[in-house]
């Protein structure tokens, strides 16, 4: 009866002391009904963004103060039974009963080994303590370390790096070594089953399972013998919180003196405590083996520090950027033109006031308003440099901007060098086409020129042949006239004059016959010599006129030789010879770049002269040859012979033809 009374009195005194101490604390609890996958919580940690992570026997759970999100083997984690947790800058190390899982952004990387009991990272090397020795992460697998035979076959409950030494709490004592990869000096500094290590006020503490907690210096020094069945040592509110398997929590002050107990007799609903953790807002979290999680809030809640915002995910065309540390990437991300759809997710985790967080972002110089939305998509961005910045705000306190820079390359078809290359290629192709076209045209023109030259050469030969046919006829006719003069003895002087005139004319004709063209002045001189020779040989008088109506000088106009003579001869011999007072008129006119030539006489007419020729069986070869020459030079419709009539009476004959007007310049 006395014992019961004393127990009641001690409980009343304890509750009074505890209530006085905790009257400024607010206690909350979370269980399966609140979103946890299980009420068995093995450990707690917090990442650099601010998410709390709970390791349970049914998966890994994150908490932002408002929502629980659980990851299981369906999300590629190695096992649902989480034994221990450790955070790094951008990674979460997850110890399970089947090995190690590492969460990097949104992916899990798994490495199988024995059941993991502890994790420590030193100089970017990951060491894991298992139920059978120590392993370390080597490239893409876990490699077992050989430290010493005792450690290698013991449960490694905790590893900590302190004062350039590794301290290892095992089921077979506390050990100290200079190097885990290549140990040179390893020694046991405490016997027993060591379960937890803690650095507190730059001192190393070590707890046994049943035999108290020690201050580890040169020689371990016992600081408390209670409680028993210790599971974890943690620093909370500048105190040491000792979690136990069946006795709740015992709290020591900074002088290692007993402060209080927290258990099912005063605060909690269970004494089975697996872990204790203090978050970055000074809240204390208690992980239990059967009642979920408890949270101590030191109230009233006030925001003393500015919030911190971080990127939780960055996606490029719906693919996460898993290859870089998005919150520590200080370069400019280079993206091709096709990767122009970018999504940003960002988060400020405020465990105490999750619904008061507001965000705003800025892309280059465009700033959004404050909003609760913590993600944004940018689709079809143009090429160029971009700077994305995001800022958060809680109760009026603003975070600094978190910035990410990226560059979207210019499409190939918009690049200057590509445009110049394409333009140059097009110009080269066009130049090649034009060159080949011009070459073909030149080849065709050359062929045409050669053909025309051949035709002109043949025409020239033809004209010369016709000219050679005409000259003998002319000479024959003149000689016949001289012969007639020579038959009369009264005409000796006239004969000498005629022969001299003929000699001059013949020299001129022979000289001109070697040429394809002579000047119109030379042709007129030759015609005058010929007409005067005919006047000397004719028994009847006749007169002649030569008229030129052209803008050019007669010396500059070119004409084939002996082209007019056959028609002049025909007019004299067959037109005006039968009549008295004959008149011969020769005219040269310039019309539309043609030289028009005409021979008119007042003789008996063309038809009558033809009849006279037929009676004498005379065929004028010279006229025929000359017509062919004219047709060769000027084409069809370039030669006309017609009778001149007046009151239906024939008064003479007109021969007309035209030649292309040619000059010697």
484 and 400 share a domain? no
What CATH number does the domain containing 56 carry? 2.130.10.10
Query: Mean pLDDT score of the chain, rounded to an integer?
Result: 87
Task: Give the pLDDT band of residue 499 (cuts 50, 70, 90).
Answer: confident
Residue 24 lies in a domain: yes
Q: How is residue 437 written in tokens? A: 């076209």
pLDDT for res 92: 95
Which residue range(s) make up the domain with 240? 2-298
580 lies in the same domain as 500: yes
Say if 430 falls within a structural domain. Answer: no
In a domain, residue 423? The reply is no
pLDDT in tens, 408-465: 998 888 888 888 999 999 999 999 999 999 999 989 888 888 888 777 766 666 656 5
180 assigned to some structural domain: yes
Is residue 391 domain-shared with residue 449, that is, in the same domain? Answer: no
Per-residue model confidence (pLDDT) at position 203? 94
Residue 353: which CATH number? 2.60.40.10
pLDDT at 26: 83
How much is the pLDDT for 237? 83
DSSP codes joined into one string, 152-202: HTS-EEEEEEETTEEEEEETTEEEEES-SSS-S-EEEEE-S-EEEEEEETT
Q: For residue 380, what pLDDT band results from cuts at 50, 70 and 90?
A: very high
Domain count, the chain: 3
Higher per-residue pLDDT: 504 or 101: 101
> Is 431 part of any domain?
no
Do residues 25 and 116 both lie within one domain? yes
Domain boundary among 267, 298, 329: 298
Asked if residue 116 and residue 29 are part of one domain, the reply reads yes
Give the largest Cα separation in the chain, rounded: 204
Show the tokens assigned to 66: 């408002």
**Residue 426 is assigned to a structural domain of this protein:** no
Q: Edge-to-edge strand order for the sheet containing 557-559?
A: 518-519, 557-559, 662-663
Task: Please report, for the domain that includes residue 605, its CATH number.
Answer: 3.30.565.10
515, 612: one domain: yes
Same domain, 541 and 656: yes
Same domain for 406 and 370: yes
User: Do 589 and 612 sit in the same domain of this protein?
Assistant: yes
Question: Does 657 fall in a domain?
Answer: yes
Domain stop point among 298, 319, 344: 298
How confident is the model over 565-573, as a mean pLDDT? 87
Residue 11 predicted with pLDDT over 60: no
Higher pLDDT, 399 or 535: 399
Q: Is residue 463 part of a domain?
A: yes
Q: Where are the beta strands (DSSP E) in 271-383?
A: 273-278, 284-288, 293-298, 310-316, 319-320, 332-335, 342-347, 357-363, 366-367, 375-378
Cβ proximity of 448 and 611 under 8 Å? no
With vertex at residue 185, the alpha carbon angle to CA 179 and CA 190, rounded to the nearest 5 degrees, is 100
Average pLDDT over residues 544-558: 91
| Domain termination residue (choose one: 413, 447, 480) | 413
Q: Give the pTM.
A: 0.64
- pLDDT one-digit tens code per residue, 626-639: 788 788 788 878 89
Residue 658's pLDDT band (cuts 50, 70, 90): very high
% of residues, the chain, pLDDT over 90 = 59
Identify whether residues 180 and 68 lie together within a single domain. Answer: yes
Whether 260 and 217 map to the same domain: the answer is: yes
Distance CA 502, CA 651 (A): 31
| Average pLDDT of span 474-498 | 68
Verify that 321 and 210 share a domain, yes or no.
no
């Amino acid at each position: 009866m006395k014992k019961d009374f004393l127990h009641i009195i001690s409980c009343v005194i304890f509750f009074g002391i505890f209530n006085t101490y905790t009257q400024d604390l607010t206690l909350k609890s979370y269980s399966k009904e609140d979103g946890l996958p299980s009420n068995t919580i093995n450990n707690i940690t917090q990442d650099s963004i601010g998410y709390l992570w709970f390791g349970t026997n049914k998966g890994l759970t994150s908490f932002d103060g408002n929502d629980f999100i659980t990851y299981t083997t369906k999300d590629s984690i190695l096992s649902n039974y989480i034994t221990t947790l450790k955070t790094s800058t951008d990674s979460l190390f997850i110890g399970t009963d089947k090995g190690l899982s590492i969460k990097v952004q949104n992916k899990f990387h798994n490495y199988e080994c024995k059941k993991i009991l502890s994790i420590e990272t030193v100089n970017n090397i990951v060491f894991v303590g298992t139920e059978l020795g120590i392993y370390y992460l080597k490239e893409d697998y876990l490699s077992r370390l050989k430290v010493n035979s005792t450690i290698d076959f013991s449960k490694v409950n905790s590893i900590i790096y302190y004062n350039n030494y590794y301290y290892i709490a095992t089921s077979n004592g506390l050990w100290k070594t200079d190097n885990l990869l290549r140990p040179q000096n390893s020694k046991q500094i405490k016997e027993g089953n060591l379960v937890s290590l803690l650095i507190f006020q730059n001192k190393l503490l070590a707890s046994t399972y049943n035999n108290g907690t020690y201050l580890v210096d040169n020689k371990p020094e016992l600081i408390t013998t209670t409680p028993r069945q210790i599971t974890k040592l943690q620093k909370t509110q500048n105190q040491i919180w000792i979690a136990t398997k069946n006795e709740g929590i015992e709290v020591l002050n900074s002088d290692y003196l007993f402060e209080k107990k927290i258990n099912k007799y005063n605060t909690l609903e269970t004494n089975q405590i697996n872990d204790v953790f203090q978050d970055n807002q000074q809240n204390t979290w208690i992980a239990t083996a059967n009642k979920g999680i408890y949270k101590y809030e030191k109230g009233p809640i006030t925001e003393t520090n500015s919030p911190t915002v971080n990127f939780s995910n960055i996606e490029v065309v719906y693919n996460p950027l898993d290859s870089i540390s998005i919150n520590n990437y200080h370069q400019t991300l280079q993206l091709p033109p096709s990767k122009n759809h970018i999504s940003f997710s960002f988060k400020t985790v405020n465990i105490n006031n999750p619904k008061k967080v507001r965000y705003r972002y800025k892309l280059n110089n465009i700033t959004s308003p404050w909003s609760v939305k913590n993600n944004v998509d940018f689709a079809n961005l143009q090429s160029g440099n971009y700077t994305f910045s995001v800022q958060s705000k809680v109760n009026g306190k603003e975070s600094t901007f978190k910035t990410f820079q990226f560059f979207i390359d210019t499409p190939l078809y918009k690049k200057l060098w590509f445009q110049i290359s394409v333009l140059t290629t097009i110009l080269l192709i066009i130049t090649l086409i034009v060159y080949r076209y011009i070459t073909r045209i030149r080849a065709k023109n050359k062929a045409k020129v050669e053909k025309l030259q051949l035709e002109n050469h043949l025409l020239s030969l033809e004209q010369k042949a016709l000219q050679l046919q005409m000259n003998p006829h002319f000479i024959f006719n003149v000689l016949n006239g001289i012969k007639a003069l020579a038959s009369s003895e009264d005409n000796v002087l006239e004969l000498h004059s005629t022969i001299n005139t003929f000699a001059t004319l013949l020299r001129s004709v022979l000289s001109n016959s070697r040429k394809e063209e002579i000047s119109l002045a030379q042709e007129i001189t030759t015609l005058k010599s010929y007409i005067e020779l005919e006047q000397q040989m004719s028994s009847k008088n006749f007169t002649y006129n030569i008229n030129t109506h052209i803008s050019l000088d007669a010396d500059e106009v070119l004409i084939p030789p002996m082209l007019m003579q056959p028609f002049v001869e025909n007019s004299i011999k067959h037109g005006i010879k039968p009549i008295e007072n004959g008149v011969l008129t020769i005219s040269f006119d310039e019309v539309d770049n043609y030289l028009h030539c005409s021979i008119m006489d007042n003789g008996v007419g063309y038809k009558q002269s033809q009849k006279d020729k037929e009676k004498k069986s005379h065929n004028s070869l010279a006229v025929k040859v000359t017509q062919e020459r004219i047709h060769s030079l000027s084409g069809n419709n370039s030669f006309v012979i017609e009778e001149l009539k007046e009151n239906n009476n024939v008064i003479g004959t007109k021969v007309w033809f035209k030649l292309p007007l040619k000059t010697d310049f």
